[in-house]
Amino acid sequence: GRLEAVTQQMGYHPQYLDSFLKMQHYLMHMDGPLPFDCRHYIAIMAAARHQCRYLVNLHVLQFLRAGGDPQWLRGLEFIPPKLRNLNEINKILAHRPWLITKEHIEKLLKISEWSWSLAELVHAVVLLAHCHALASFVFGCGCEQDEGLGVRGSLKPLSLGNQCFCEATAGNSYSQELLCINRKRSLDSCMELDSLRERMQRIHVETEGRDEMRLLQQDREEGEGQGAEGGVQGGRLSLLADTDGVVTGATNLACYMQDPDFGYQDFARRDEDQTQVFRVQDYSWEDHGFSLVNRLYSDIGHLLDEKFRMVDGLQSSAMAKRQGCEPSVFKRGIWNYIHCMFGIRYDDYDYAEVNQLLERMLKVYIKTVTCYPEKTNSEMFDRFWKQFKHSEKVHVNLLILEARMQAELLYALQAITQYMI
């Protein structure tokens, strides 16, 4: 009866959780331009960029539940070219979103057998940004379930019959409605579980029958040390199972991404020619991004906007009081610092305030969780703000989640706008 970890952490701020659940449910499970299995596979691709096994495992299960082809789980080589073409924009959005141009958009939308429609691309971009930012929250709050990372409160991996966190109850109206829906679904959970086990067994037989002897021979040649490392190599399908034989996720995340060495680099200085500072006065979420995304993917703009506003409205008087400032000033300092790391600037803000408001340890934590969350560890979480409550630390991670997601969306939507012009 224990709540899933993301829901558990966001539950410290129930109003935000309700807003998050509504947007997540709409994005993954309601009518939209993309098929359901493709949505979960895109989520897998996005989470893999930050080596977030927690989200990859969750969406592997949801992908199978949506009727996805298990062959796709062998890696990018086994998916349709249309999905594989999304890899470049996924990579750039995750690590250096300021590099996205209208040429990237044009390449995906060009007329061909594997071209994307504008509506499909907007849906995919929102999915990518959502999962990148959620990976930051997962690592920042210690939800990552890989015990090898030494994170806090590792939970038992989800079984196939369990709820996805986007359908978990949180004691509010929308979540209670989802709970009722899931009670109906649970009637078929045993049959669904058996069906998925049968499908996974079939794909194991197909792949292992062809490859086992070849891999064993390679292992002998390469030595026992290499043969035991990291599960199945070469992008071949490999799923873990718990003691009940329930599939829990992929062991090799490298098969879901290309160019793994591509990562975050500090945004270039203003005087460097190759990179332009993104000025919110020229292109903002409120004046530009909201209307574009809502026009191409109905209602998602309203749900995103509600979530942005909700995190901005969370009570933070205790945090601000400890820092000796007003709550709005403190939250804006965190938000603008995150956007600054992605090259987004506000002309009406004095960035000297950031150093005054945010102590060094907090800045190190925010930058790590925002830019390379896979490097976050439990010690970092425990060391910053020792005098602050856990709920206040979760609040900071919610600000990171939303500020990062909005930053990625701004760059992608601006590029789409430039293409349309």
Q: 89-129 pLDDT, tens per residue?
A: 999 999 999 999 999 999 999 878 899 999 999 999 999 99
Which helix or strand (DSSP H or E) is residue 278 part of? strand 278-279
Pairing of strands 344-345, 278-279: parallel
Which helix or strand (DSSP H or E) is residue 36 part of? helix 36-48
Best CA proximity match to 317, nearest among 329, 302, 300: 329
The stretches in the chain having pLDDT less than 70 are 1-3, 145-251, 268-275, 316-318, 320-323, 384-385
Q: 256 and 63 in contact (C-beta within 8 Å)?
A: no
Instruction: Give pLDDT, residue 367.
Output: 95
What is the Cα–Cα distance from 406 to 409, expressed in whole angstroms?
A: 5
What is the Cα–Cα distance from 294 to 204, expressed in whole angstroms?
A: 42
Instruction: Give pLDDT, residue 158.
Output: 33
Q: 99 and 259 in contact (C-beta within 8 Å)?
A: no
What is the Cα–Cα distance from 118 to 128, expressed in whole angstroms?
A: 15
Joined together, the tokens standing for residue 26 give 């709409």
Instruction: Give pLDDT, residue 210.
Output: 45
What is the Cα–Cα distance from 55 to 144, expressed in whole angstroms?
A: 8
The one catalytic residue in 38, 52, 131, 371 is: 52
What is the Cα–Cα distance from 155 to 145, expressed in whole angstroms?
A: 6
Instruction: Give pLDDT, residue 317.
Output: 63
The β-bridge partners of 279 are: 345
Helices vs strands, H then E, count in the chain:
19, 4
Best CA proximity match to 116, nearest among 45, 34, 43, 191: 34
Residue 241 has φ and ψ, to the nearest 5°, of -135, 140
Pairing of strands 247-250, 239-241: antiparallel
What is the Cα–Cα distance from 185 to 37, expressed in whole angstroms?
A: 18
52 is a catalytic site residue = yes
Instruction: Give pLDDT, residue 251.
Output: 54
Q: What angle do CA 305, 120, 79 make, to 5 degrees?
A: 125
Q: 216-232 pLDDT, tens per residue?
A: 445 445 444 443 333 33
What is the Cα–Cα distance from 122 to 301, expressed in whole angstroms?
A: 11
Instruction: Give pLDDT, residue 169.
Output: 38
